[in-house]
Structure 1
Amino acid sequence: MSQLSPQPAGTSLPTSADVARLAGVSRATVSYVLNNNTTVRISDSTRRRVREAAADLGYVPHAAARSLRAGHSRTVLLPAGQAPAGALYQRFLTQLELGLRRLDYTVVRYGGVGQDADEAAMTWAELRPVAVVSPDDLALTPYGIGVLTRSGARAVITLGSQPVDGAHALVVDQREVGAHAVRHLLARGRRSIGVVVPQEPGHALIARPRLAGALRAVEESDADAGVRALPLRYQEDSAQDLASRWRTLGLDAVFAYDDEYAMLLTRALQDAGLVIPGDTAVIGAGDLMLGRLLRPRLSSVAMELTCEQRPAEMIDRLVQNPGGPPERHHLLRPAVVARESS
């Protein structure tokens, strides 16, 4: 693609009429091509000529004008949460964004740092999105959902552990991760189980439900077992301090929140003279490759975010057919991968 020439001051912006003249087609054809309209038959060579003309002129369709023609915007807002997102969430959001772009939506990632949920919703509403996918740590409220729908959002979707009244929900229930890990340890005969609770900011949204799931797994079992929360910072001295007290805690197993904390604690326990899994079984979550290189190899809860319908297609369906009852789709599918550490 050739470089654009510098635009002289006062020169008007290129228009679809300019693109049409350069490509030798009608303005309607330019609109069909650049808005990815597939209902009208246009040859590949014509589509290519229109796109090349638009690129040469530096022309892009006007989003507001397109919204007026469609009766709604094509903007989907993906607000950025304030807590650090893990690789699983990032991969999911990237796939969602790619899917929405293929469906001709404009995807905007937007931050809400320093705002509460209702303030954030009012800020989002100013952009007039046709759909919003809200992260768990912003705790969208029914009031905020009302603000968004009155501003033109046809679909408001929460992505997190709990649905919110009035919104569709992509449910990621982290309790199941903790429950799977502890059920595995109970099945291996472990009865005094520690659960690591990271002390770094931003981890509580995942750590709390994972601990709750671990407690639930023990309550639902017939085993005479117990769970103890273990605060831990992601630092060697914190892990060493916990390992030095391990024998006095009387624990024979630990669910270490995720694989990174599991590897940190495993090394500290081994340095303190404990044998894994003989003295203490260890299981993480996330099934990282590094955990498989550890000795003994780390057991883990593998996780996948899946949906019966592709999330981008689901959002498109909700936009095209607004007003239905809230939908609930459970995304998280955990599975224990048992290795030598447990």
Structure 2
Amino acid sequence: MSETRRPRSRRRRPLRAAVGLLVLMAVAGYFVVQRASNGGGAPYCTAAVAAAAGAGSDGARQSYEMTTEQAANAATIAAVGIAKGLPDRAVTIALATAMQESSLRNIDHGDRDSLGLFQQRPSQGWGTPEQIMDPVYSAGIFYDHLVDVPGYSRLPLTVAAQKVQRSGYPQAYAKHEPDATVLTAAFGEGGTLSCSGPAPAPGDPRTVRAEVARAFGEGALAGEPGGEAGADGASVLLARGEGPGAVRRGRAMAHWAVARAQELGIARVSYEGQGWIGGQARGQWRPGAAGGGTGTAGAAEAPGNEIRLLVAR
């Protein structure tokens, strides 16, 4: 290249950089708009908690965003702990452990023969591969081992998790504690979970009831086994029960339903005067019934001690 052409090439570089930056900003803006409007972005979920409710030891984390797959697995882990009557600390330890071991994904591979959410090993007596790949089972056996640790609720999270997992990197659990605390509050008391995305595809109310029973026990079911049929779908009733822990249990079931809505075809959730509708309001909970006053099955607000789900048809 001649000497006279080199300066011209150099003068073009800032212009090319500016054009490239504008294109990048335009693409990013497009995806932001699509995501905010539920128009075509991938579904996602956000757990949020007020700082006063305890968003972690440093108070810096107030929300945690994840895919619907991660939210569904987190919901199962929380549900199993709450169904067992365990305290929030146990749920936080379990969630932080799964966040480190699998990023809340039910993976079928790992170090040596490790599998699943908690990377449990069949060769070490955690169960068969099929059992370990079942999130309800893997969460349940994690909790069973955790409660055998003396004073686990008073131990640092890394210590409690390590006594169960026996990991080669025990300190790695610590960085997940703030986010795990937010998730615990979202599925229990003090927080909320919202899931954005398109309206769920049709589901089967019997499958929904079976999954609820697996996570929370048969006592969580109410109403007819096949649901109450209506124009928009089948209304499935869940009962939070009475006595201590009923409010926590009810909130957990309602948010579990939102987390698994895409997978199970749950179009609406109604509980304690709040409603969630898939594909609307950017996935946020809103005051009032989840049916929007259409008069169809599942549109009415759930009774005070029940959670009403509308399964799309």
Which has the larger share of helix? 2
Bigger radius of gyration among the two: 1
Greater length-normalized contact order (CA 8 Å, ≥ 6 residues apart): 2
Q: Structure 1 length normalisation: TM-score?
A: 0.23
